[in-house]
Structure 1
Amino acid sequence: MKMLVKIICPIEPFNSMVKDGSAGEVLGRIIEETKPESIHFTEVEGCRGAIMVVEVGGAGDIPAIAEPWFLNFEAICEFRIAMTPDDLMKADLENLGKKWS
């Protein structure tokens, strides 16, 4: 299943890592290990951040995705299940509408 991961990196320790030259190397290792389908870096709530799409087999995969961000950047990670259009079509919305209307 696909998960959207919103990552918020506090100003510190990220600033210190940028200054000592380690931020890029650590980011590269995390991305290489996590193998996201896509990742986009942006501002989130006034901090450095990213939005990442990852494929997970189940909830047990979440720590392997979150811990590198937690441990290296003291980041906040939020996970959301994501559906493709095909996933949504499999939900049988018509019958759900009839059942719950």
Structure 2
Amino acid sequence: MRTLLEVDLDTETANRLITDGTLPQVVEGILAALEPEAAYFHARDGRRAMTMVVDLADEASIPAVCEPFWHQLNARVTAHPCMNADELRTGLGRLG
């Protein structure tokens, strides 16, 4: 299931990881584990943020996907099931 993740990093935690030099390793580890279709890094509401599209095998995958953000980054995570244009066309075609 294609899922859009919006991740807002805790400023204090991110500052600490930047200061000790480990933020790049943490982010690279998460990216390697999730293998996102797309990943973007930006500011949102004055905080460091990431937006990525990942493929979840099923709903039971949500804890494994979100836990690294919560545990390592003290981040706020929002997940949205999403689709591309072809999937939207297919879905709309099923409406009748």
Q: TM-score, normalised by structure 1?
A: 0.88
Q: Could you list the runs of 5+ residues in structure 2 that have no partner in the other structure?
A: none
What pairs up with 1:6-45 in 2 under 5 angstroms? 6-45=6-45
The superposition leaves residues 3-54 of structure 1 with CA deviations (integer Å, 9 ceiling, x where unpaired) of 0000000111110110011111111111111111110000122100000000
State the partner residue of 1:73.
73
Tell me, in whole angstroms, the C-alpha distance in 1 between the residues paired with 2:69 and 2:19.
18
How large is the RMSD of aligned CA atoms in angstroms? 1.2
Cα distance in 2, alignment partners of residues 45 and 52 from structure 1: 17
Cross-structure match for 2:58? 58
Matches of 1:94 and 1:60 in 2, distance apart? 28
Alpha-carbon distance in 2 for matches of 1:25, 1:51: 18
Q: Choose 1 or 2 for highest CA Rg.
A: 1
Return the letter of the residue paired with 1:24: P
% identical equivalent positions? 26
The amino acid that maps onto 1:80 is H
Instruction: Quote the residue 1:88 is aligned against.
Output: 88
Report the number of matched residues. Answer: 95
Secondary structure of the structure 2 residue equivalent to 1:69: helix
User: Given the two structures, how large is their TM-score scaled by the length of structure 2?
Assistant: 0.92
Q: Which residue of 2 aligns with 1:47?
A: 47
Give how far 1:93 is off.
Answer: 6.1
**SS class of match (1:90):** helix
Q: Which aligned segments of 4 or more residues in structure 1 are displaced greater than 6 angstroms?
A: none
